[in-house]
Amino acid sequence: MPDWTAESEAAFDAYVDALIGVIGHADRAEPLKDYCLGLLMPIERKSVEPLAAVTAPSRVSAKHQSLLHFVGQAPWSDVALLARVRDWVLPQIEQRGPIRAWIVDDTGFPKKGKHSVGVARQYCGQLGKQDNCQIAVSLSIANDAASLPIAYELYLPHSWAEDPEQRKKAKIPAEITFRTKPRIALEQIRTAKAEGVAPGVVLADAGYGADGGFRAGLSELGLTYVVGVQPTLSVWRPGESPLPPKPWSGRGRPPSRVGRTDNHKPISAKAMAEELDAEPWRTMAWREGTNTELNSRFAAVRLRPTSRDYNRPEAHAEEWLPIEWTEGEVEPSKYWLSTLLADATITQLVDAAKLRWRIERDYQELKQELGLGHYEGRGWRGFHHHASLCIAAYGFLVSLRENDPPSTPTRAQGRQTPRLPGGYRTRRSSDPTRAARPDLDPNPQATPDCRLGQPSATMSVLHKANGPSASGSQFMTQ
């Protein structure tokens, strides 16, 4: 591996040693280290067999079986591993400032086959359309300098949750039932709070913010949020509220629900934005782009969301409705609801809302550099084990980056990637003498096969650790 230093090798050994205690048997220590090391190697395909070839080129078959069992079968806890990664990396992140946000997001993995656990036709952000894919929900902690996923779980569609045969084949735990993505995220948040994770403002896109139960759950946990909502969100104009319950007529049950009339009713968030005059709008730079500052027009108003208040005895509390409307566009592009304090400034609101894009850097590196979507097995355990190990490898990069900032000179010692054995071919290469494995998805990705051993220019550990910091200029959408 190019650009390793003695310090980075020692740091990696110490990091892996800290993780060994939560994976159970001592004989799992070697595959843990090799798997994480392989994920950091400059190879394009990070499925099990290429990892075996690059970490043990003289005994690929034995190493392949060892890693395959470790990631696909061994019953170690993903939750415990991610907690240990979090406890190790969090102090490094906090050297650059306190945690500011808990970021909820999900990511998709396109699949051509239909047998990998959780695969269904659903919206995939990576493709920008509905297609066959897996979707995983994650929770990350973040400040202005860095971020780290601390929880990660596959979303299980109805078609999988309610099919006993598919559940059995994928070895889905009995306690896993159908849950919406907002419910999965809320459970992750509830667990993080119970474990005393440094709190932050919860950030999420409209896929979560549009769920009134999700927002209510955050408030019940005492957490503030800035979450995306749809332009169709129903709101009361600033200063307005639903009508109080009607006076009791003396007969029947006394009225207990607020009301509305044809002359006193809520409007949509989009209609609210269009009613605003020029005064509340401010043009603000919200991050640095590659060549120039990115800016847009923003406004924020205090109002009450309806959120089915016609079933309540009183109105909802006031919240902020920040709105983004880029100059020259025919309509606003983004809307949020926020429970930040009433005296929050529009700068604070926009800064919090836009910090959510940190998660895009996480997923960019996890997918492009660490092989998050490269696992070829079909089972529930293997899917989560591979993801946890990718996050563990990413945590090491984050800790290195925070301990050795970009201004620190790098002393490279040229540790080389082990040479692959002669005649080696990946399992997915054409070989008519080799039988197909029934436990592996023959078409795991909707992408062409990658060639092993062709290094990515950005894949060395210290290049990633000491390269451009995770500043706003590095944010990229999925």
| 255 or 27, higher pLDDT | 27
Across the range 356-383, mean pLDDT stands at: 92
Give long-range contacts, CB 8 A cutoff, 24+ apart: 53-59. Answer: 53/420, 53/421, 53/424, 53/426, 53/452, 54/417, 54/418, 54/420, 54/452, 54/453, 55/418, 56/418, 57/418, 57/419, 57/420, 57/421, 57/424, 58/421
The tens digit of pLDDT for each residue in 140-180 reads: 999 999 999 999 999 999 999 999 999 999 999 999 999 99
Question: Which one-letter amino acid corresponds to residue 160?
Answer: W
Each residue's pLDDT tens digit, 211-231: 999 999 999 999 999 999 999
The pLDDT of residue 313 is 73
Q: Is residue 299 part of a domain?
A: no
What DSSP designation does 256 have? Answer: -
What is the predicted pLDDT for the residue at 249?
66
**Is residue 76's pLDDT more than 80?**
yes
| pLDDT over 90, % of the chain | 63
Residue 25 lies in a domain: yes
Rounded-to-integer distance, Cα 199 and Cα 218, Å:
12
Mean pLDDT of all residues in 1-14? 75
Range of the domain at 10: 1-78+389-428+453-478
Q: Please determine, for residue 459, whether its predicted confidence score (pLDDT) is greater than 60.
A: no
Strand residues in 68-118 grouped as ranges (E): 101-110
Instruction: Return the percentage of the chain with pLDDT > 70, whole number.
Output: 79
pLDDT tens digits, one per residue of 34-60:
999 999 998 989 999 999 999 999 999
Domain membership flag for residue 435: no
Q: Is the pLDDT of residue 81 over 90?
A: yes
DSSP at 243: B
Alpha helix (H) residue ranges in 341-415: 346-354, 358-368, 380-403
pLDDT (0 to 100) of residue 13: 92
List, for residues 97-124, the tens digit of each pLDDT value: 999 999 999 999 998 888 899 999 998 8
Q: Establish if 324 belongs to a structural domain.
A: no
**Beta strands in 209-261, from DSSP E residues, in sequence order:** 225-229, 234-235
Predicted local distance difference test score (pLDDT) of residue 229? 97
Res 446 pLDDT > 60: no
pLDDT band at 308 (very low <50, low <70, confident <90, very high): confident
Q: At what angle do helices 78-94 and 6-20 cross, to 10 degrees?
A: 140
- Residues 18-22 have a mean pLDDT of 93
Determine, yes or no, domain membership for 216.
Answer: no
Q: Confirm whether 23 is domain-assigned.
A: yes
Residue 3's pLDDT is what? 55
In a domain, 413, yes or no: yes
Of 38-42, 101-105, 250-254, 413-417, which range is least confident? 413-417
Assess whether pLDDT exceeds 90 at residue 264. no
Range with the poorest average pLDDT among 78-92, 174-188, 297-311, 427-441: 427-441
Q: Is residue 238 part of a domain?
A: no
In the chain, how many domains are there? Answer: 1
The answer, yes or no, to whether residue 84 has pLDDT greater than 70, is yes
**Beta-strand pair 282-288/267-268:** unpaired
